[in-house]
Amino acid sequence: MTYEETAVSQTIDRLLSDRHDLDAAADGVLDNLDQFHIGGAGAVELLIPTLALAHGDVVLDVGSGFGGPARQIARRTGNHVMGIDITPSYVDAARDLTARAGLGDLVQFHAGDITDFPLDPAFDAALTMHVQMNVRDKTTWFRHIAERLTPGARLAVWEVCQPHRADLPWPMPWSLDGTDSFLVSADTLLACVKEAGFATVEWTNESTWVQDWITKTFANGLPAGPALPMLLDDGYTRVINYATALADGSLEIWRGCFTKNADQD
Ligand SMILES: C[S@@+](CC[C@H](N)C(=O)[O-])C[C@H]1O[C@@H](n2cnc3c(N)ncnc32)[C@H](O)[C@@H]1O
């Protein structure tokens, strides 16, 4: 199984104690470490305006990982963000990094599945980045997200799609051996989100943007630490395999913005 690293907080402590020159609380300093998706902080910047947040809106981040996107949204907008994630050690790390960043009043995390999370009060917006690849029944999963949103709420997604069946080089960031990977095409994913009770605002293939981001980010080789692959089992192989599959077109990245249908409970 993937996501079995149990000592993430300890690894982060060690990496940061080696870098006294870094102010880990400063905006952007840990972007190479705590953004667990292709496109890093730049991808989150693409999603933020699509959430159309108003003052006081509360945001749900489903599959929040180490909390980089949640903290970035809170920093940029001042809105409260609740992250939920099924991996307890990742939630512990997200909480530790949030405390270091002094954002504990705005950003909280819940360890568990979306189905464990209360239906009330409903959230005003949601995002999910690089999570649905691990979910077999995508329509039901997006329906659980819809149930926790107010009517008309925005949902932003940043997702990996597979345009055609092809063998992939495992391990990938979301799966060590492919047994817990459930990739679908962009058309199929869009159909699942709509069937779950969302209307489409935008559904855009961002694969070219991602290639540009990869070229810029890795122009001088792999970024110096602390960096995400240092937190993950077989981290560098997973990142290199992923970049290879994106470059040869085996995988695509799609960005979506949706609104929850008014008649959806
Ligand atoms: C590739 S990481 C993305 C993390 C975060 N969204 C980001 O972009 O930085 C995938 C995350 O999804 C979580 N995850 C996988 N399946 C999940 C599920 N059914 N519900 C909630 N979280 C899940 C994993 O624990 C992991 O933290």
In whole angstroms, give the CA distance from residue 35 to residue 190. 24
Residue ranges, the chain, pLDDT below 70: 264-265
Q: What is the pLDDT of residue 262?
A: 86
pLDDT value of position 164: 95
Q: Enter the tokens of residue 54.
A: 């108003």
- Going from N- to C-terminal start, the domains of the chain cover 8-260
* The token pair that represents 71 in the structure block: 């903290």
* Among protein residues, the one whose CA lies closest to atom 9 of ligand 1: 36
- pLDDT score of 99: 95
Q: Verify whether ligand 1 is closer than 6 Å to residue 40 (CB atom).
A: no
pLDDT for res 264 = 61
8-260 — its CATH code?
3.40.50.150
The whole-number pLDDT of residue 166 equals 87
pLDDT value of position 265:
58
Contact 198, 258 (CB under 8 A): yes
Predicted pLDDT of residue 2 = 92
Tokens of 27: 């905006």
Atom of ligand 1 nearest to the CA of 90: 27
What pLDDT was estimated at residue 12? 94
**Does residue 134's CB lie within 6 angstroms of at least one atom of ligand 1?**
yes
* Ligand 1 binding pocket includes 37 (Cβ within 6 Å): yes
Give per-residue pLDDT as tens, 179-212.
999 999 999 999 999 999 999 999 999 999 999 9
Residue 150: its pLDDT value, please? 96
